[in-house]
Amino acid sequence: MKNTNDAGIVKDRHTTVSLKPIKELYTPDDTREVDFEEKIGFPGEPPYTRGIHPTGYRTKLWTMRQFAGFGSAYDTNQRFKYLLEHGQTGLSTAFDLPTLMGYDSDHPVSEGEVGKCGVAISSRQDMDVLFDGIPLDKVTTSMTINAPASMIFAFFLATAEKQGSKWREIGGTLQNDILKEYIAQKEWIYPPRPSMRLITDTFKFCAREMPKWNSISISGYHIREAGATAAQELAFTLRDGIEYLDYGIRAGLDVDEFAPRLSFFFNAHNDFFEEIAKYRAARRIWYRVMKERFKASNPRSWQMRFHTQTAGVSLTVQQPINNIIRVAIQALAGVLGGTQSLHCDAYDEALALPTERAALIALRTQQIIAHETGVTNTVDPLGGSYFIEKLTTELEEEAWEYFRKIDSMGGMVESIEAGYPQKEILESAYQYQRAVERGEKIIVGVNAFQMEGNELGEPNILYIDESVGKLQEERLARLRAERDKHAALRALDQLKRGAEDPEVNTMPLLIDCARADCTLGEMCDALRPIFGEYQEPEF
The per-residue pLDDT for 457 is 67
DSSP state of 110: G
Average pLDDT over residues 158-175: 97
Residue 4 has pLDDT above 60, yes or no: no
The per-residue pLDDT for 327 is 98
Q: What is the CATH number of domain 28-64+175-437?
A: 3.20.20.240
Residue 320 has pLDDT above 90, yes or no: yes
The three-state DSSP-derived secondary structure of 256-321 is HHHHHHEEEEEEECCCHHHHHHHHHHHHHHHHHHHHHHCCCCCHHHHCCCEEEEECHHHCCCCCHH
**Contact (CB, 8 A) for 510 and 495:** yes
Reply yes or no: is the peptide bond before residue 47 cis, omega within 30 of 0. Answer: yes
511: closest CA among 499, 502, 523, 500? 523
Backbone angles phi, psi at 165, to 5 degrees: -80, 140
What is the C-alpha separation between 312 and 346, in angstroms, rounded? 9
What is the C-alpha separation between 124 and 132, in angstroms, rounded? 12
Average pLDDT, the chain: 94
The per-residue pLDDT for 6 is 39
> How many residues appear in the chain?
539
Q: Which helix (H) or strand (E) holds 237?
A: helix 230-250
Task: Please tell me whether residue 494 adopts helix, strand or coil conformation.
Answer: helix
**Integer angstrom CA distances of residue 275 from 47, 119, 270, 278, 432:** 19, 30, 8, 5, 17
**Integer angstrom CA distances of residue 423 from 218, 230, 270, 429:** 20, 16, 23, 10
What is the C-alpha separation between 296 and 302, in angstroms, rounded? 7
Distance of CA 170 to the CA centre of its chain: 20
Residue 82 has pLDDT above 70, yes or no: yes
Extents of the domains making up the chain: 28-64+175-437
pTM of the model: 0.94
Q: pLDDT, tens digit, for every residue of 246-298?
A: 999 999 999 999 999 999 999 999 999 999 999 999 999 999 999 999 999 99
Residue 456 has pLDDT above 70, yes or no: no
351: closest CA among 436, 186, 452, 463? 463
The per-residue pLDDT for 455 is 64
The sign of the torsion formed by the CA atoms of 319, 348, 228, 287 equals negative
The per-residue pLDDT for 10 is 39
Q: Which residues pair with 63 in a beta bridge?
A: 341
178: closest CA among 193, 167, 163, 165? 193
* Sequence-ordered alpha helix ranges (H) in 352-455: 356-372, 386-409, 412-417, 420-437
What is the C-alpha separation between 500 and 326, in angstroms, rounded? 49
Q: pLDDT, tens digit, for every residue of 459-486?
A: 788 989 999 999 999 999 999 999 999 9
Q: Which residues pair with 268 in a beta bridge?
A: 310
Residue 181 carries which side chain, given as an amino acid letter? Answer: E
Round to the nearest angstrom and report the end-to-end CA distance of the chain: 52
158: which residues sit within 8 A by CB, 6+ positions away? Answer: 124, 127, 511, 514, 515
Indicate the pLDDT class of residue 16, thresholds 50, 70 and 90. Answer: very low
Residue 13 has pLDDT above 70, yes or no: no
What is the C-alpha separation between 414 and 410, in angstroms, rounded? 6
Q: pLDDT, tens digit, for every residue of 331-377?
A: 999 999 999 999 999 999 999 999 999 999 999 999 999 999 999 99
Average pLDDT over residues 181-193: 97
Q: Which helix (H) or strand (E) holds 94?
A: strand 91-94
The per-residue pLDDT for 17 is 44
What is the C-alpha separation between 164 and 160, in angstroms, rounded? 6
Burial (0-12, 13-18, 19+ Cβ within 10 Å), 230: buried
Burial (0-12, 13-18, 19+ Cβ within 10 Å), 79: buried
229: closest CA among 450, 421, 62? 421
